[in-house]
């Protein structure tokens, strides 16, 4: 029979042990605590804009444009032009039909605005300085306030000195979600693809580098960036389904994206889902376009493969003597491969625009000389000197856009979706809504646009921003 002393010791000892353990834990600090399992580091994760409005259907936030020193090349700093100090700017994620309010302040040394690329919003929210709003001066502010009408992947960027400002880093992604979209589309990443022209010490190469030749070709940065990073290592489970919402935010570079041994299924483009999924080995995204792709990672465990930029022929000098480059490295973890559920059936009714009573506008994309300097234009006239095209609300128009130059032009219309009728006589492989379409070297793209509503002055331009700034832009005056 245990003595009273023995009982007391046995009762005391566990207390002492617990006490000792507590003291040890307190002294050893948090590193010895097991804690919750850490989520694997995701270098592609983007900080998201924060909603300060309690109304679930209003997303209200702030954006500040400012110069921020960031380390893009290891050991150097670059004075990047940013939204909120981030490259790219914060991801704005809203649901279709939400009201978005952005209180914007400009702390750059230069005038700026925000253009909401692809969003079908009222004209006075379109962000074109001196056309739809006064430019936002240094120290100034402007409130953007509109309803987001369409699900899809979009982006925002300035429309003042845009080649320089976008080239220096001013851009950010917008995802407009649809609560009714099919599930099982995969683990989602928003990929903002861009480039930046940097000196070895990290400083910015000026936006007028290489003079007229730079303007004609369109300046491509020498540093590839994905979500503001240089060649990050991204680890995912073997076999897992990935969904990449890719945005080409580069000011001039075309992205042709490919992975050795991997097929993509493109499910969306500029303005939401396309009519039917499209299998592709490579995805071509002109400046400003978007591509929404899914794929099941065709890599064994513990392996890695480069996600490549592959030279794409957009005219003289774009493919000659150029090699593929790594955008980032895709790796698999050491777990057994996973098998995702079958891809849900995806289809979207995209009725062809009725062009039976459409009028036709002819636009030649032209190169002009002015005082011995390269000047670009539309129908021989730079944007600053051009008369606007005319359209009435409810009109349908066919725009025949003809390229007379040695370089392709990604042609963008603000505020409206359009349908490409054909490119060099060939209709698109799959029906889709676009806001930016490629016009190939000496080629012709015909597109149909219905000006449904929202009168005002709407801009259109080449989205090689060096070309736009050199005059390849114009306006369509949409009257009530
Ligand atoms: Cu162009």
Distance CA(285)–CA(268), nearest Å, equals 12
Give the per-residue pLDDT at 27.
37
Closest CA to 172 of 245, 86, 94, 261: 86
In terms of CATH, what superfamily is 359-479? Answer: Cupredoxins -  blue copper proteins (2.60.40.420)
d(CA 77, CA 380): 42
Separation of CA 408 and ligand 1 centre (Å): 6
Give residue-wise pLDDT tens across range 2-12: 444 444 444 43
Per-residue 3-state assignment (H helix, E strand, C coil) for 230-299: CCCEEEECCCCEEEEEEEECCCCCCEEEECCCCCEEEEEECCEEEEEEEEECEEEECCCCEEEEEEECCC
CA–centroid distance, 425 to ligand 1, in Å, is: 20
pTM: 0.91
Mean pLDDT of 282-291: 98
pLDDT value, residue 6: 42
Confidence label for 22 from pLDDT (cuts 50, 70 and 90): very low
Cα separation, 367 vs 403, in Å, equals: 10
Average of pLDDT values for 95-124? 98
Average pLDDT over residues 217-226: 97
The residues, any chain, with a CB within 8 Å of residue 414's CB and separated by 6 or more, are 115, 126, 128, 435, 458, 459, 460
The pLDDT of 295-321, averaged and rounded, is 97
* Mean pLDDT, residues 109-136: 98
Distance of CA 444 from the midpoint of ligand 1 (Å)? 13
Cα 456 from Cα 415, distance rounded (Å): 10
Architecture of the domain whose range is 187-332: Sandwich (2.60)
pLDDT at site 224:
98
> Residue 41's pLDDT is what?
80
The CA 471 to ligand 1 mean position distance, Å, reads: 10
Q: How far is the CA of 298 from the centre of ligand 1 (A)?
A: 36
For the domain covering 58-177, report its CATH number.
Answer: 2.60.40.420
Q: What is the 389 CA–ligand 1 centroid distance (Å)?
A: 19
350 alpha carbon – ligand 1 mean position (Å): 28
Per-residue pLDDT, 362: 98
pLDDT average, residue stretch 172-189: 95
The whole-angstrom distance between residue 97's C-alpha and the CA centroid of its chain comes to 21
- pLDDT recorded at residue 5: 40
> First CA to last CA across the chain, in angstroms?
101
434, 418 in Cβ contact below 8 A?
yes
Question: And the tokens for 215?
Answer: 């303007």
Ligand 1 centre to CA of 439 (Å) is: 9
Confidence bin at 30 (pLDDT 50/70/90): very low
**Local structure of 304: helix, strand or coil:** strand
Could you tell me the distance, in angstroms and rounded to a whole number, from the CA of residue 132 to the centre of ligand 1?
A: 23
What is the CA(192)–ligand 1 centre distance, in A? 21
Question: Which pLDDT does position 373 carry in this prediction?
Answer: 86
- DSSP SS3 for 376: strand
% of residues, the chain, pLDDT over 70: 92
- Average pLDDT in the 279-298 region? 98
Ligand 1 centre distance from Cα of residue 411 (Å): 7
Dihedrals φ, ψ of 248, to 5°?
A: -90, 100
Ligand 1 center–CA 409 separation, angstroms: 4
Residues within 5 Å of ion ligand 1, judged at the Cβ atom: 409, 462, 464, 467
Q: How confident is the model at residue 13 (pLDDT cuts 50, 70, 90)?
A: very low
Domain boundaries, the chain: 1-30, 58-177, 187-332, 359-479
Q: For residue 21, what pLDDT is reported? A: 42
Taking the centre of ligand 1 as the mean of its atom positions, its distance from the CA of residue 464, in whole angstroms, is 5
Region 440-448: mean pLDDT is 98
**Is 278's pLDDT higher than 60?**
yes
- Is 187-332 in the same CATH topology as 58-177? yes
* pLDDT the model gives residue 11: 41
Q: Express as a percent the part of the chain with pLDDT over 90.
A: 89
Q: What is the pLDDT of residue 23?
A: 39
Q: What is the Å distance from ligand 1's center to 457 Cα?
A: 21
Distance 196 CA to ligand 1 centre (A): 18
Cα(435) to centroid of ligand 1, in Å? 15
Distance (angstroms) between ligand 1 centre and the Cα of 463 equals 6
445 C-alpha to ligand 1 centroid (Å): 13
Quote the ligand 1 centre to 391 CA distance (angstroms). Answer: 24
Rounded to the nearest angstrom, the distance between the alpha carbon of 465 and the centre of ligand 1 is 7
């Amino acid at each position: 029979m245990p003595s009273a002393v023995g009982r007391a010791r046995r009762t005391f000892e566990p207390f002492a042990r617990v006490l000792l353990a507590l003291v040890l834990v307190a002294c050893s600090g948090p590193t010895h605590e097991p804690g919750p399992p850490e989520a694997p580091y995701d270098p592609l994760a983007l900080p998201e804009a924060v909603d300060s409005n309690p109304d679930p259907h209003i997303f209200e936030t702030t954006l500040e444009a400012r110069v921020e020193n960031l380390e893009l090349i290891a050991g150097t700093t670059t004075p990047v032009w940013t939204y909120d100090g981030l490259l790219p700017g914060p991801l704005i994620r809203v649901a279709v039909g939400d009201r978005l309010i952005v209180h914007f302040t400009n702390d750059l040394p230069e005038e700026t605005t925000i253009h909401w690329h692809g969003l079908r919003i009222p004209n006075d929210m379109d962000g074109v300085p001196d056309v739809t709003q006064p430019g936002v001066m240094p120290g100034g502010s402007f409130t953007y306030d509109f309803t987001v009408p369409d699900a899809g992947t979009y982006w925002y960027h300035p429309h003042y000195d845009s080649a320089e400002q976008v080239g220096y880093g001013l851009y950010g992604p917008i995802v407009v979600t649809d609560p009714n979209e099919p599930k099982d589309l995969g683990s989602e990443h928003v990929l903002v693809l861009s480039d930046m022209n940097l000196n070895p010490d990290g400083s910015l190469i000026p936006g007028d580098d290489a003079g007229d030749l730079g303007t004609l070709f369109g300046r491509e940065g020498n540093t590839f960036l994905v979500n503001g990073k240089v060649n990050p290592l991204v680890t995912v489970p073997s076999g897992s389904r990935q969904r990449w919402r890719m945005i080409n935010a580069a000011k001039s570079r075309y992205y042709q994206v490919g992975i050795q041994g991997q097929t993509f299924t493109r499910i969306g483009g500029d303005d939401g889902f396309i009519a039917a999924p499209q299998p592709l080995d490579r995805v071509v995204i002109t400046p400003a376009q978007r591509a929404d792709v899914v794929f099941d990672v065709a890599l064994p465990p513990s392996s890695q493969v480069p996600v490549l930029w592959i030279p794409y022929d957009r005219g003289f000098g774009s493919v000659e003597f150029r090699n593929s480059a790594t955008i980032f490295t895709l790796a698999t973890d050491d777990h057994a491969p996973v098998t995702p559920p079958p891809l849900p059936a995806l289809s979207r009714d995209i009725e062809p625009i009725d062009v039976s009573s459409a009028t036709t506008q002819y636009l030649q994309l032209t190169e002009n000389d002015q005082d011995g300097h390269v000047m670009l234009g539309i129908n021989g006239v730079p944007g600053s000197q051009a008369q606007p095209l005319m359209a009435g609300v409810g009109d349908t128009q066919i725009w025949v856009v003809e390229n007379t130059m040695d370089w392709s032009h990604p042609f963008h219309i603000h505020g409206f979706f359009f349908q490409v009728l054909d490119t060099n006589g060939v209709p698109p492989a799959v029906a889709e809504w676009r806001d930016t379409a490629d016009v190939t070297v000496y080629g012709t793209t015909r597109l149909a646009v219905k000006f449904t509503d929202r009168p005002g002055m709407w801009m259109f331009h080449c989205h090689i921003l060096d070309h736009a700034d050199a005059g390849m832009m114009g306006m369509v005056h949409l009257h009530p």
